[in-house]
Structure 1
Amino acid sequence: MVTIRKLESDAGKLEKYIALEERELKSKIEHLNDILISDLIPAAENILASEKKLADLQSALSKISQRKKCLGEEESQRQSMVVDANQLELENKAVLDEMEQTRKRFDLLDDSEASCPVCDQPLGKHSRDHLKGELENQGIKGRRKYRENQFRISELREETKKSEQRLSNARTLLTKENDELEKAIFTVEAQIAACQEKKATIPKINEELRSLSERCEKKNFSLSEQSQLRDIERSILNLGYDNGRHADLDQKVRNLEPFGDLFAQIEQAAERRRSLREFIDSNAESSRQREFEINGWNSTMHSLKSRLSESSEIEKALSSSRTRLEELRTELQSAISSRDVAQNSLREIETFEKEIEMLNKQILEDSNELEIYEELAAAFGRNGIQALMIERAVPQIEETANELLGKLTDNRMAVRLQLKEGRIDRTTGLRSEELDISISDEVGTRSYETFSGGEAFRIDFAIRISLSKLLASRSGAPLPILFIDEGFGSQDSSGQERLTEVIQSIQPEFEKIIVITHIDHMKESFEERIEVLKTEHGSTFQLV
């Protein structure tokens, strides 16, 4: 028979289920509304702004393409400057060749039997001077042209270098900007596509919201449970259930509840009484068992006392044995200590043997390295590679010095450099090498110290220039500037002219040659001059 309690319990369960379904339906509606308001609608509204941003980015990308075209034009200009510089270098090479030919023709005119290059007739002094003047003017023009071209080449090279640096920096910057713009365009396009996709889902979400709202308003959910709940409510009405009668019965039940508690306490007390009775009986049995065991233990104790009186001699023997045992233990401990000391000594000896073996090996390696270092010291010492390099360098110095000295003295003087044994070195006990300088002229071969100041200056000039060239060739570095400070006062006018000619002949080998002199005749031999003037307020200079 179905009771009212059962019907009310079933009705409560159905009501909870229906309420849960309704909450889930409303929660789904609220979730869809949140998606629509916070995500889909803002995404749809953001499409226009994203499309405008995309157009701006594409416009910036097209401007970068235009800037790349401008860089291409600048690259063409740079290539043009490179071509111009190369053309000027070729032109300078031709100018140098022409100057060399002019110099040779000028040298031919120094011969008293020089002839005309056109008619092959002997030239008089006036004609030679006239041709020399023309050739000298040609040489001056050639030098001026060469310097102008060199200056222009330097300007073009510098401008080319700067342009190349600018182009490199600009290309790097454009590449970086282009990559950033392409990345930004890709990101914006992806955003637009995502926004359009979200915009397309708005009608579907709205339709689903309309359907869910309609179901919620019409209670179109959990239809089976709602039907069951209505049936239960009808059943409760059919039972004629009286709430007042039910309340009276509940009150009577509550009034009788204290008597139920008292009955439960009585039952618990009876249970405890039975447990205590069983515990008392168990303790009595245990007491009887303990008395029986104590009697047995007393008998055993009397027996042991009698046996103990008989074992006095055994105790004496045991005491003696214990004393002997202690002596043996002491001896054993001493033996163990001696063994440990011996083992430690043995380990130390093994360690010393290994160290001795390693030291012998290290001594052998050090001896081999010492032999190698001694060989290297001999090779890199004075009598080794240095001596070999000096022996090879002396002929080069001699050849270059003789070439310059021949120009300075009209081939009247020549230098001879020869290595010979010198004094004994106190540290090594070996003889050092000394460089003997001897000069040959029309008189004969003499030592360097016997020549006058003017001749010694020419010799010094030739040897120093040859040493500078050798050092530059060995180090791989160019000789950009040559300084010549005074020394011309010891020369006669002919010697000064020859020095000037030699300086001009070696001019292509240096970027600049700076000559310091107080002789007016020497000053006039050079086109570009820096004159230092003393005034009342101090020294000043001017470019001439």
Structure 2
Amino acid sequence: AEFDAAIAELRSSELAAMSAQGDVQAAQATFKMAEHADAELKRTRDKLEEVLRAKRLHDELDRAYSDIRTDLNLQLRPEISELASSFLVELTDARYSELELDDQYRLTVLEEGVPKPVISGGEEDLANLVFRLAISQMIAERAGQELSLLILDEVFGSLDESRRQNVVELLRRLGDRFEQVIVITHIESVREGLDRVIEVSYDETSGTSRVATSDGGAAGGSGPVVGRIGADDLAAALS
């Protein structure tokens, strides 16, 4: 009986040892998982710190650029407004005295110093044109040298005949800023003020486009006109 009891106790001890060994292995696996989780946590914290440093730098740069943008707006907006206003006075025969820009660069036309809340489509196009011309001239002036090319595409369509001619004359006066001014238009009457004209037309018979060059003021067809205001021959410049 004592032998049987000893055998039973031995088996119980062996089972307990096996269970303890399993617990040890489970504990070791849990420990390894904890080590892995700790390493992953450290990597995550390091990455978070890196992201936070980048965010702090981004926020600082954003504040700096915002300050620069504000300073530039304060400096450039009055200059652009003054240039655009001078162009507007010329193109409207002094009907409109000024063009104002708000801090979002939205345009307001002034008539005898009074804001004009409603303007026609042609007047709006004219205001946008002088705004772009003012920006172009300011860039040319700040570059410290002439910009070689100014291209205007279909800027005459909504203007009456008088203002079309005013635009052509203004573009001529910009010759000291832009060596070459190219205007693209379907308006035949403006060719009178151009030095050279390249007319593009479609030949239905051959299914091809035809290009003809002439001096400004020459009679032409109905195709779009590429006109040049400047000293050199546009055809030679494009060849």
TM-score, scaled to structure 1: 0.30
Match of 1:344 in 2: 25
Corresponding residue for 1:414?
98
AA aligned opposite 2:70:
E
How far does residue 529 in structure 1 lie from its aligned partner after superposition?
A: 0.7
Q: Specify which of 113, 125, 130 is matched with residue 444 of structure 1.
A: 113
Offset, 1:459? 1.6
CA contact (8 A) 1:483 1:514 kept: yes
Contact (CA 8 Å) 1:529, 1:543: kept in 2 or not?
yes
Aligned to 1:529: 197
Select which of 391, 399, 415 maps to 2:70: 391
Consecutive unaligned residues in structure 1, runs of 5 or more: 1-319, 420-433
Residue 541 (str. 1) matches residue 200 (str. 2): no
What is the letter of the counterpart of residue 438 of structure 1? T
Q: Which amino acid aligns with 1:523?
A: R
Pair 353,470 (structure 1): closer, same or farther in 2 beyond 3 Å: farther
Match of 1:501 in 2: 169
Question: How many Å apart are 1:415 and its aligned residue?
Answer: 2.4
Q: CA RMSD in A?
A: 4.2
- Relative to the length of structure 2, the TM-score reads 0.60
CA contact 1:481–1:510 (8 Å) conserved in 2: yes
CA distance in 2, matches of 1:435, 1:355: 57
Q: 1:377 to 1:471 in 2, by over 3 A?
A: farther
> Structure 1 470/406 Cα, relative in aligned 2: closer, same or farther at 3 Å?
closer
Task: Give the structure 1 partner of residue 14 of structure 2.
Answer: 333
Please state which structure has a larger fraction of its residues in strand: 2
Gaps spanning 5+ residues in structure 2: where? 215-239
Q: Summarize the alignment of residues 132-151 of structure 1 with structure 2, pairs less than 5 Å apart.
A: none
Aligned to 2:217: none
Which residue does the alignment assign to 1:306? none
Opposite residue 402 of structure 1, the aligned amino acid is E
1:60-79 matches, within 5 Å, as none
Contact 1:482 1:510 in 2 (8 A): no
The reply to whether residue 517 of structure 1 matches residue 185 of structure 2 is yes
- The residue identity in structure 1 corresponding to 2:31 is E
Preserved CA contact (<8 Å) 2:98 2:113: no
Match of 2:237 in 1: none
Q: Residue 223 of structure 2 aligns with which residue? A: none
CA drift of 1:463 comes to 1.5
**Looking at CA atoms only, which structure, 1 or 2, has the larger radius of gyration?**
1
Question: Residue in 2 aligned with 1:55?
Answer: none
What secondary structure does 2:115 align onto? strand
CA distance in 2: counterparts of 1:343 and 1:521, whole angstroms: 98
- Aligned counterpart, 2:151: 482
In 2, distance between residues paired with 1:324 and 1:458?
Answer: 112
Q: Which residue of 2 aligns with 1:70?
A: none
1:462-477 aligned within 5 A:
462-467=130-135
| CA shift for structure 1 position 327 | 5.4
Q: Is the 8 A contact 2:81 2:101 kept in 1?
A: no
Report Cα offsets for 1:189-239 as digits up to 9, x if no partner.
xxxxxxxxxxxxxxxxxxxxxxxxxxxxxxxxxxxxxxxxxxxxxxxxxxx
